[in-house]
A and B are shown apart, each in its own frame.
Chain A
Amino acid sequence: MDLAFNQAELDFRDEVRAFLRDKLPADMRRRVHLGDHSHFREDIPRWQKILNERGWGAPAWPVEFGGPDWSKTQQFIFEIECALADAPAQLAFGVKMVAPVLMRFGSPEQQQYFLPRILAAEDWWCQGYSEPGSGSDLASLKTKAELDGDHYVVNGQKVWNTLGQFADWIFCLVRTDSSGKPQRGISFLLIDMKTPGISVRPTRLLDGSYEVNEIWFDNVRVPVANRVGDENAGWTYAKYLLGHERTNIAGIGACQRELRRLKQMAAGIERDGRPLLEEAVFATRIVEVELELKALEITNLRVIFAEAQNHAPGPEASILKIRGTEIMQRITELQVEALGARALIAESPGRDLGEDLPRAVEAYLNQRKLTIFGGSNEIQRNIIAQMILQL
């Protein structure tokens, strides 16, 4: 047993750090640091292109599709270093979500067309899963796709679509059969967002951001060639997608970055005449979350190690998801508490309010999503109960 990274892993970390120092544009880094999403549309593809030039555009992809042939440990290190350096997060929908499905179940034509474009940030992907009546019970989805010659005609509504306002393509779960078990009548379609009949309506969130949308499909014609795999087998592909790329689901790097920021805030903020970092109750709360994060980092490495030994990613990822999201939410709470009543300033035009206003409170509000999306934490507990505890 050895918890430390070996020399090769440390060398790799240095290589990643050097790359980030040299190649991560300062303006982009600054925006990520400030939680400024105003340039999302440009920054995300721009960073993806920089990564791709270095051959690092898709850390988890196999070499045959243009991946860098990294171990899970290297991917873990990469994710942490990128987060600590304030690099933009890669857009998951293409690289981490639809791509693995295409590699496993897509046609050669789909693979050859889409995968290089994902790598080079030529297409922006988004996801069409949830519907007004179908959240945790996703298999009850109703968006319908009816065959008409060599096209499907799609009608229905998707919700909680993230950043679809910038998207070129959406991968969708649609109903192609209503006769049997709900899971058996779902297909997985790739839909060009420019197709007539698609409308995108933003949903304003509690932090004031527009990052999710409703997407309406009104007689949208989708070539059958854009179906992944078999008709009515989409549920299998969706489950495969959910089980994939969960190595970094805990978000250790982002938690470490925000914890670092929390400590710096607490050191710089005076409360009743002394730094908050020296105030016993607040400092204790920081220590508690820091310990949970340290433990989760090791738990995450244990899951990675187990995966490398033999088995596919298992239900242990649910542990990482639950604890990682709880820790991040806790850190954002403490950042707000550190600021006290000043955290309440939502805006004050024309003034420089410093780095944390209103960033901290926006993050706190926005990060409430973490325990809801990607399979709510309650669903994750169901998974643990059924798959690990066998109840």
Chain B
Amino acid sequence: MDFSFNDEQQMLLDTTQRFLASAYGFEQRHKLLESEAGWSREIWSQLAELGLLAVDIPEVDGGIGAGPVGVMLVAQATGHGLLLEPFLSSAIIATDAIVRCGSDAQRARWLPALASGERIAVLAHEEAQSGIAIDTITTRATRSGEGWILSGAKSVVYHAPMADMLLVTARDDQGIGLFAVPGDTQGLTRHPLRTVDGQRAADIELENVEVGADARLGADVTAALAEVIDNGIAALCADAFGALERILKATIEYSRSRKQFGVPIGSFQALQHRMADMLIQLEQARSMVYLATSHCRDADPVARRAAVSGAKVLIGKAARFIGQQAVQLHGGMGMTDELDVSHCFKRLLAFELRFGSTDAHLADCRQRLRAA
């Protein structure tokens, strides 16, 4: 039992925090948020220079291989910074999908370009009707000579507009296939959208999209994809935790400085107890981030899913409670676009709903409930 971080992990955390503290202040981020692209390639390149886009790439593939704890710490910092760039989408989820499902040749072709920030990839898996079951997707892959034809639609794919490559999941006779589809492929349409939390995403239509044989990663990736998604959810939990820490800290500070009736509102017991409850939920959420991180790469799907889904549920509830109370305790200021609080609040809303809602994961946990 050990809750310390080794030097390498601590350095990753410090590096990420220090960079974002200097380059990603509220005003700097706000400019990006309002810009047409909605993100900064320069920031992205700097993240790459710091090695952060290679944290989840194994050393044999030329990456840092920081492991789940390293990923957790970086994701916690990017969540705290409310990062708009596709760190989780490209450097964690898509990268991990290529690591797990790609052939040697595919890994060698794509991973260095993702690590350097030259290329961006995203996993295009969720569909409008998706819950958390992997195999309910309806996008189809059919054989066409040596290659494949993909048809279907993907829903709210984060960071798809800026992606050079989409990793599309589609069902075929063998199960679920994963296909690398360049963003400019004929028949692929990206309907760009801005999400509530200020990120850029796209609804994707695939209309008879032709890809070559070498576009397919692995054969049936159902099991591997479940691991990729659980690994991604663990990182997403850490990201949400970073935002939770920020919003609670902002709320406590606000309650110390905001005066009514001649005293700081933080001196009122009703508000103190609310914030105590927020802190308890924050600490419980932190414990669940650790749990998810510890098990997100378990080969045993039962233990892995229990930890990851359990974390998504508890952190989702914490996100709802802490987020709503933070806005409430900020009073009218909590309603504005001008403070951290509303931006964190929307980030947390996105967390709750992405990769399976809190209730979907709760139902999943219930399926595993046994008497002993």
Residues of A with Cβ closer than 8 Å to B? 1-6, 9, 73, 260, 263-264, 266-267, 277, 280, 283-284, 286-288, 290-292, 294-299, 301-302, 304-306, 309, 316, 319, 322-323, 378, 380-382, 384-385, 388-391
Contacts and interface: CB of A to CB of B under 8 A. Distances in A.
B362 interface: yes
B371 A291 contact: no
A295 B371 contact: no
A296 B9 CA distance: 25
A301 B370 contact: no
Nearest to A260: B372
B172 interface: no
> Interface SS of chain B: helix, strand, loop or mixed?
helix
Nearest to A296: B284
20 contacts: A1-B5, A1-B290, A5-B1, A9-B1, A264-B372, A284-B362, A284-B366, A287-B366, A291-B310, A291-B314, A296-B287, A301-B3, A305-B1, A305-B2, A319-B283, A382-B269, A385-B269, A390-B252, A391-B272, A391-B275
B293 interface: yes
Nearest to B6: A1
A288 B362 contact: yes
Which of B255, B269, B275, B287 gathers most chain A CB within 10 Å? B287
Contacts of A283: 366, 369
B177 to A, nearest CB: 33
Interface in B278-303: 279-280, 283-288, 290-291, 293-294
A277, A287, A323: residue with the most chain B Cβ atoms closer than 10 Å:
A287
A2 B1 contact: yes
Interface in B244-261: 252, 255-256
Contacts of A277: 369, 371
Contacts of A298: 287-288, 290-291
B149 interface: no
Contact of A280 (B279, B293, B366): B366
Contacts of B314: 291-292, 295
Given A266-B371, A305-B3, A389-B272, A295 B69 contact: no
Interface in B349-366: 362-363, 365-366
Contacts of B252: 389-391
Nearest to B371: A267
A323 B318 CA distance: 14
Contacts of B129: none
A384 B276 contact: yes
Summarize A's interface: helix, strand, loop or mixed: helix
Given A1-B3, A389-B279, 11 more contacts: A1-B9, A6-B1, A280-B363, A286-B369, A291-B314, A296-B287, A298-B288, A304-B1, A306-B3, A309-B4, A391-B255
Contacts of A381: 272-273, 276-277
A37 B279 CA distance: 37
Nearest to B72: A1
A260 B370 CA distance: 10
Interface of B: 1-5, 9, 69, 252, 255-256, 264, 266-267, 269, 272-273, 275-277, 279-280, 283-288, 290-291, 293-294, 310, 313-314, 362-363, 365-366, 369-372
A375 to B, nearest CB: 13
Contacts of B291: 3, 294-295, 298
Given A287-B369, A305-B1, A391-B252, A319 B279 contact: yes
B52 to A, nearest CB: 19
Nearest to B3: A305
Nearest to B255: A391
Contact of A264 (B1, B2, B363, B371): B371
Contacts of B294: 1-4
B280 A319 contact: yes
A263 to B, nearest CB: 5
Nearest to B68: A1
B208 to A, nearest CB: 41
Contacts of B3: 1, 301-302, 305-306
Nearest to B369: A283
A391 B69 contact: no
B1 A4 contact: yes
Contacts of A292: 284, 314
Contacts of A266: 371
A369 B88 CA distance: 46
A299 B287 contact: yes
B329 to A, nearest CB: 11
B363 to A, nearest CB: 8
Given A384-B276, A389-B279, A1 B69 contact: yes
B169 to A, nearest CB: 28
B256 A391 contact: yes
A294 B9 CA distance: 25
Nearest to B359: A284
Contacts of A301: 1, 3
A326 to B, nearest CB: 9
A295 B310 CA distance: 9
Contacts of B69: 1
A267 B366 CA distance: 13
Contact of B283 (A299, A304, A305): A299
Contacts of B9: 1
